[in-house]
Amino acid sequence: MGRILELKNTEAKTVIANIELTKEEYQYLKGNIENIRVFSDDNLKKESRLVQRGKKESTKYFLLPRILREGIIPSTNVKCDRMKTKDKDVFIFEIGKQNI
């Protein structure tokens, strides 16, 4: 897992972060160096479950906790990806916000 080596506040309400990534994490970026989101495993406090349904339990669903469901319409398309590390699989879902 990566880590932040140095943080520097700027006058423009931004922070410059010097980060260290494993080669695996760097390759996962596939050359994209903009629109990066940074999060820590230690910030993941809400719990959910992965359930299986269907013939031979071939369909798997991530349950979205009730506290996180507000403003989400089930029929919207969702972008997702899976990042594998040596000790975990990280699933990332991106859901656009609805114009209300």
Q: 98 pLDDT band (50/70/90 cuts)?
A: low
Question: What pLDDT digit, counting tens, does each position of 25-59 carry?
Answer: 888 889 898 988 888 888 999 999 999 999 988 99
Domain ranges in the chain are: 1-38, 43-100
**What's the pTM?**
0.73
User: CA-to-CA distance for 66 and 93, rounded, in angstroms?
Assistant: 16
Task: Inform me whether the pLDDT recorded for 15 exceeds 90.
Answer: yes
Cβ(51)–Cβ(63) under 8 Å? yes
Task: Inform me whether the pLDDT recorded for 85 exceeds 90.
Answer: no
Q: What radius of gyration do the chain's Cα atoms show?
A: 17
- Please name the residue that has the structure tokens 């910030």: 43
Cβ(5)–Cβ(20) under 8 Å? yes
The pLDDT of residue 100: 44
DSSP structural state of residue 12: T
Q: In the predicted model, what is the mean pLDDT of residues 2-6? A: 93
* Whole-number Cα distances in Å, 71 to 4, 8, 61, 78, 80: 33, 35, 19, 14, 19
